[in-house]
């Protein structure tokens, strides 16, 4: 085990029992993530990306191997792990500030201060009293990210949070997330299907091959921020990762989207 890593995953193996038998979703996953690191995870549909996030979050505990935070086995959900889904999952009857506060009272001075700071951080000043129906998709996801950060998690897990957004909004949200990461220095693990997004955001890109999901390769992204997607260095790395991604995708036997 790498004691210097915040997140340790060792010999992770995950199987599902279905009506058609046993599905081997993840096999022999070994990964260390340092504090403050930004890691993206890509791979074909059904390779276990979302399952991996759910296990790290403590939402799925039926696996073999070790998954630990600060050396302690993850045994369930907790405030040390924030989670952002593809859908914003905001409460439609609550305002932006109350959605961020969730089950905490804004009458508490510390909560009020944290919520105000987060609204500033995700660039939603002036929309505190707005309801989800009055927000764009990107704004709603910013509220979701702010809510996940409220309790200062050690790691923020993001499961294709920009997948449903249009290209312009998605690009803007990538910039917003990088600003949050640089400001808070929160460790982030981000699942995506978008290779450009994976490179644009991350310090390292983890490529999973399909079922059983295994790590095909881990590619360091040694490009300075801010990154230009049209640059020769970016495109060279994109071609390298695309080649490995397509090689993994070519071996798909079962398209188990959602696993």
In the DSSP assignment, the letter for residue 213 is: B
State the pLDDT at residue 3: 53
Walking along the chain (259 residues) 10 residues at a time, the average pLDDT comes out as 81 87 90 97 88 95 95 94 92 96 93 96 95 96 96 96 92 94 95 95 94 91 95 95 76 42
Cis peptide before 79 (omega within 30 of 0): no
Cβ 38 vs Cβ 197: under 8 Å:
no
User: CA 28 to CA 213: how far, in whole Å?
Assistant: 9
Where are the CATH 3.40.50.300 domain residues in the chain? Answer: 1-71+155-259
State the pLDDT at residue 253: 43
State the pLDDT at residue 2: 55
Long-range CB pairs of 246-250 (<8 Å, 24+ gap) are 247/209, 247/216, 248/43, 248/44, 248/47, 248/207, 248/208, 248/209, 248/210, 248/216, 249/43, 249/44, 249/210
- What's this model's pTM, rounded to 2 decimal places? 0.91
State the pLDDT at residue 243: 87
State the pLDDT at residue 131: 97
Question: In this structure, are strands 214-220 and 204-209 parallel, antiparallel, or unpaired?
Answer: antiparallel
Phi, psi of 67 (to 5 degrees): -130, 110
CATH 3.30.390.50 is held by the domain 1-71+155-259: no
User: CA 52 to CA 213: how far, in whole Å?
Assistant: 9
Cβ 221 vs Cβ 203: under 8 Å:
yes
């Amino acid at each position: 085990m790498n004691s210097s890593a915040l997140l340790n995953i060792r010999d992770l193996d995950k199987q599902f029992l279905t009506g058609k038998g046993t599905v081997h979703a993840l096999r022999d996953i070994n990964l260390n993530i340092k504090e403050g690191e930004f890691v993206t995870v890509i791979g074909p549909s059904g390779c276990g990306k979302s399952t991996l996030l759910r296990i790290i979050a403590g939402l799925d505990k039926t696996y073999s191997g070790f998954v630990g935070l600060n050396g302690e086995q993850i045994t369930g959900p907790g405030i040390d792990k924030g989670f952002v889904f593809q859908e914003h999952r905001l409460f439609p009857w609550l305002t932006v500030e109350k959605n961020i506060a969730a089950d905490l009272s804004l009458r508490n001075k510390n909560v009020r201060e944290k919520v105000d700071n987060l609204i500033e951080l995700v660039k939603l000043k002036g929309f505190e009293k707005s309801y989800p129906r009055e927000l764009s998709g990107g704004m709603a996801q910013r509220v979701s990210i702010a809510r996940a950060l409220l309790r200062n998690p050690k790691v923020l897990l993001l499961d294709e949070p920009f997948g449903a957004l249009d290209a312009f909004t998605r690009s803007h949200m990538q910039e917003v997330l990088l600003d949050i990461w640089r400001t808070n220095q929160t460790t982030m693990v981000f699942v995506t299907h978008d290779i450009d997004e994976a490179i644009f955001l991350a310090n390292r890109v983890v490529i999973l091959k399909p079922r059983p999901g295994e790590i095909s390769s881990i590619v360091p992204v040694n490009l300075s921020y801010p990154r230009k997607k049209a640059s020769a260095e970016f495109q060279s790395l994109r071609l390298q990762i695309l080649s490995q991604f397509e090689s993994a995708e070519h071996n798909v036997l079962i398209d188990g989207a959602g696993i």
